[in-house]
């Protein structure tokens, strides 16, 4: 194949354009089954989706492809991505499928897979699925009669996942009296998050929870912190939380209406776990984009930060490889591996709320733990993703910027795994200097690679 199907988070693109078409989805599901199914195990797969209109026909295509191979399909319906990971392992399914494009606009969609354990696929498994997809033959012998699979709803999936999320909170923890604004992004968590919070006694002010198939992430959710900030200030809530479309991310706002990013969430959780002796190896896993202030904080407390490439799958791989239990990204993918196998916006929120309750401190005070180094970030649309080394003007700008920072900062330049964009991060002691350097690099990017 001329181009990889899988990006950093499954297969993603414009819905009803290759490879996010009904025929391609059916073929991809069949290819995944041939790679992931273990001979002799129960042929059952769980499928969930977010609220996009295109998810309806893609769900049907995936389920049809699997059933045609003799696999029984349980449809979890509209449910968060981490819920599918949990349900897959809980029901001992062969694997799980999620139909979602996460934080992308509604006209995009995607397909991603979880192993039977609830973990995302490895690079090797994705490559094997792509190879199977490329040699797919219409002449494969398919079962007939009673050999075909059945497609059925999975009853109570929403309630089961919400109950599990609540169970991760220490016993006798109550959120009674807490006023929480929830921005559900008109996405997959519009039922599960308010249900779990209400069961713990919180007073929930639910917003953006009327999905119509087209309004997912539209001016709301985790990619619009200014909206959540306004809602918190307007309602005088104790805090606000927002998810992206598939609810594997978390955005928090303190009672002042000031947003917290994933680095601050990691700092709060990491500090708490370290102090009570529950942070394995005294180590937090973070990505290259995470603020260096987290390294300093953990070092002061006797801990450390282990860094990975950008992408929650790399965070999870590092957590598994080193047997650690806390990691995440600046974007709000947080993995509490004592409870989850992937980023989980609801469980992350519940863990931070539990820390708030036990410490009797508001978020505005808890966040002061982390003293951030100034960062400047830019996102530049590109025509295609070519090696940066091919562009001499860009490389001169990068080398010059690194020399100017002279060991007092860092530059991270990478392609987005989900969009046709370049991500640029500069970190150092002075914002003015960083802005100046970022302007020059951004200009070179637009000139040589710009869309």
Handedness of CA 216, 413, 261, 322 (dihedral sign): positive
Q: What is the separation of C-alpha 449 from the centre of its chain, rounded to a whole number of angstroms?
A: 27
Number of H helices, E strands in the chain: 14, 19
> Of 31, 54, 100, 102, which is the active-site residue?
102
Nearest Cα to Cα of residue 289 among 419, 157, 411:
411
Q: Rounded distance, CA 218 to CA 52, Å?
A: 12
The residue whose two tokens read 């640029």 is 424
Q: What is the DSSP letter of 57?
A: H
The count of C-alpha atoms lying within 13 angstroms of the C-alpha of 303, restricted to the half-sphere facing its C-beta, is: 30
Residue 176 annotated among the catalytic residues of the structure: no
Q: Rounded distance, CA 248 to CA 258, Å?
A: 21
- For residue 251, list its beta bridge partners: 242
Cα end-to-end span (Å), the chain? 24
Q: Rounded distance, CA 346 to CA 172, Å?
A: 19
Report which secondary-structure segment, H or E, holds 441.
helix 431-449
Active site residues: 102
């Amino acid at each position: 194949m001329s181009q990889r199907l899988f990006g950093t988070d499954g297969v993603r693109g414009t819905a009803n354009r290759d490879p996010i078409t009904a025929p391609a989805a059916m073929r991809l599901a069949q290819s995944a089954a041939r790679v992931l199914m273990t001979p002799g195990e129960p042929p059952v797969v769980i499928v969930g989706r977010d609220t996009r209109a295109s998810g309806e026909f893609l769900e049907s295509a995936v389920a049809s492809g699997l059933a045609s191979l003799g696999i029984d399909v349980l449809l979890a319906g509209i449910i968060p991505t981490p819920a599918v990971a949990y349900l897959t392992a809980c029901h001992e399914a062969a694997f799980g499928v999620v139909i979602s494009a996460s934080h992308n606009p509604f006209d995009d969609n995607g397909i991603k897979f979880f192993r039977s354990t609830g973990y995302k696929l490895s690079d090797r498994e994705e490559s094997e699925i792509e190879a199977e997809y490329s040699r797919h033959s219409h002449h494969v012998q398919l079962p007939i009669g009673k050999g075909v699979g059945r497609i059925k709803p999975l009853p109570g999936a929403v309630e089961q996942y919400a109950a599990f999320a609540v169970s991760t909170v220490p016993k006798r923890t109550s959120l009674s009296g807490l006023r929480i604004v929830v921005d559900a992004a008109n996405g997959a968590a519009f039922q599960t998050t308010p249900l779990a919070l209400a069961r713990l006694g919180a007073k929930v002010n639910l917003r953006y929870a009327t999905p119509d198939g087209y309004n997912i992430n539209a001016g709301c959710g985790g990619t619009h912190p200014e909206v959540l900030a306004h809602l918190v200030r307007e309602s005088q809530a104790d805090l606000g939380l927002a998810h992206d479309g598939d609810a594997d991310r978390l955005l928090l706002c303190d009672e002042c209406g000031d947003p917290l990013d994933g680095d601050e969430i990691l700092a709060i959780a990491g500090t708490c776990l370290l102090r009570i002796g529950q942070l394995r190896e005294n180590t937090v896993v973070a990505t290259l984009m995470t603020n260096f202030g987290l390294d300093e904080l953990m070092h002061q407390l006797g801990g450390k930060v282990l860094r990975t490439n950008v992408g929650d799958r790399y965070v999870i791989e590092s957590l598994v490889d080193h047997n650690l239990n806390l990691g995440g990204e600046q974007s709000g993918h947080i993995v509490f591996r004592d409870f989850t196998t992937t980023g989980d916006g609801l469980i992350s929120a519940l863990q931070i709320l539990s820390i708030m309750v036990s410490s009797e401190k508001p978020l505005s005070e808890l966040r002061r733990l982390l003293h951030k180094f100034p960062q400047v970030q830019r996102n530049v649309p590109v025509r295609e993703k070519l090696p940066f080394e091919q562009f001499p003007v860009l490389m001169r700008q990068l080398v010059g910027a690194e020399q100017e920072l002279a060991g007092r900062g860092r530059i991270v330049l990478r392609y987005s795994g989900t969009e046709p964009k370049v991500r640029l991060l500069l970190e150092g002691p002075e914002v003015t200097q960083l802005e100046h350097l970022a302007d020059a690099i951004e200009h070179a990017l637009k000139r040589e690679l710009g869309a």
